[in-house]
């Protein structure tokens, strides 16, 4: 199995280039992040070149943080802002060689929000396609993100079908899906054709995947048997020193060597 360190949470106390180096030293196969835009892309690219890691993906801007925004692309009347955020993310992804962009929907509801999201996703997919970039959408759970527009894999599947482009895929975050829907094994197998990236964390506390209600030894075996080709994203909150939480990774590496 291959794993990607999500640097939005892991080594978040370090500058992004140093977090990339820490992920390499810890034995991760790739990295991913949330919002890298305050860091010059050249600095990130230099750290990636130094370590030989790929930045698998990043998120579009959340919007106006002081207003509590968490994405823009499903917000009626905010198309200009949403598309500026999409353009920003594509430019950054191209500069650092990232193959995926998570387009964040935001807090919205109703038919107008649905139509707005479809329109902005079509824009994102068309803009990203010449660069070989995949657009991802991610259902978020109602506990961490109450009021978020996209909440279930069924809703995501419908949206992907309606947009109808090859470069729109599902970000399957085991943590969010377990909280909203459960049945991870069958959902992974059923949704495999539209999944673009897989992430994980313990449930319900979103910590390292070595406790809680999900048996990740089983889940990782399922993903391996699916023939999943790319690293899985460790997007969990370490609650302190990241290196002290990596026993799960050591155990998986040891298991795969036996």
pLDDT by position in tens, the chain (length 258): 899 999 999 999 999 999 999 999 999 999 999 999 999 999 999 999 999 999 999 999 999 999 999 999 999 999 999 999 999 999 999 999 999 999 999 999 999 999 999 999 999 999 999 999 999 999 999 999 999 999 999 999 999 999 999 999 999 999 999 999 999 999 999 999 999 999 999 999 999 999 999 999 999 999 999 999 999 999 999 999 999 999 999 999 887 654
CB-based contact 105:156 (threshold 8 Å): no
Q: What is the DSSP letter of 243?
A: G
Of 107, 15, 111, 93, residue with least CA distance to 57: 93
| 3 state DSSP class of 8 | coil
State how far the Cα of 167 lies from the Cα of 90, in Å rounded to an integer: 13
Query: What would the pLDDT profile of 68-109 be if each residue is shown by its tens digit?
Result: 999 999 999 999 999 999 999 999 999 999 999 999 999 999
How many whole angstroms separate alpha carbon 118 and alpha carbon 158? 10
- Which residues are within 8 A (CB) of 117 and not within 5 positions of it... i.e. 6 or more apart? 73, 74, 105, 108, 149, 150, 159
Contact 48, 16 (CB under 8 A): no
Please report, for the domain that includes residue 56, its CATH number.
Answer: 3.20.20.150
- So which residues are the catalytic ones? 138, 235
Residue 221 pLDDT: 96
Quote the pLDDT of residue 139: 98
* Residue 4, C-beta contacts closer than 8 angstroms, at least 6 positions apart: 28, 29, 30, 31, 32, 56, 230, 231, 232, 233, 234
pLDDT digits (tens, 9 = 90+) for 119-138: 999 999 999 999 999 999 99
Containing structural domain, residue 130: 3-257
- Spatial separation of the C-alpha atoms in residues 242 and 90, rounded to whole Å: 29
pLDDT at 257: 59
pLDDT of residue 79: 97
DSSP 244: G
198 neighbors 174 (Cβ within 8 angstroms)? yes
* Count of C-beta atoms within a 10 Å radius of residue 237: 17
For the record, the structure tokens of 109 come out as 């509801």
Residue with tokens 């996209």: 150
> CA 123, CA 239: separation in Å to the nearest integer?
38
Domain count, the chain: 1
Rounded to 10 deg, the angle between the 184-191 and 216-225 helix axes is 20
Tell me the H-state helices in the chain: 16-26, 41-51, 79-96, 111-128, 153-163, 174-180, 184-191, 216-225, 247-257
Return phi, psi of residue 96, to 5°: -110, 5
């Amino acid at each position: 199995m291959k794993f990607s360190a999500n640097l939005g949470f892991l080594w978040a106390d370090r500058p992004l280039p140093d977090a990339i180096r820490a992920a390499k030293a810890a034995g991760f196969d790739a990295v991913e992040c949330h919002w890298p835009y305050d860091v010059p892309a050249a600095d990130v690219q230099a750290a990636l070149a130094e370590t030989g890691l790929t930045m698998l993906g990043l998120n579009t801007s959340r919007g106006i943080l002081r207003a509590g925004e968490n994405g823009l692309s499903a917000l009626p009347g905010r198309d200009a802002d949403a598309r500026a955020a999409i353009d920003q993310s594509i430019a950054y992804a191209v500069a650092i060689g990232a193959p995926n962009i998570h387009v964040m929907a935001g807090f919205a509801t109703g038919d107008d929000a649905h139509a707005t999201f479809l329109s902005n996703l079509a824009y994102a997919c068309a803009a990203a396609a010449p660069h070989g970039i995949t657009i991802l959408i991610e259902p978020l759970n109602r506990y961490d993100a109450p009021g978020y527009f996209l909440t279930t894999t069924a809703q995501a599947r419908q949206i992907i079908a309606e947009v109808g482009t090859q470069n729109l895929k599902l970000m399957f975050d085991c943590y969010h899906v377990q909280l909203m829907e459960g049945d991870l094994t069958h959902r992974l197998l059923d949704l495999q054709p539209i999944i673009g990236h897989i992430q994980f964390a313990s449930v319900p506390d979103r910590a390292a995947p070595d406790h809680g209600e999900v048996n990740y030894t089983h889940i990782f075996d399922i993903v391996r048997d699916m023939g999943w080709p790319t690293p899985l994203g460790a997007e969990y909150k370490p609650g302190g020193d990241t290196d002290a939480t990596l026993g799960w990774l050591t155990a998986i590496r040891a298991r795969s060597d036996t």
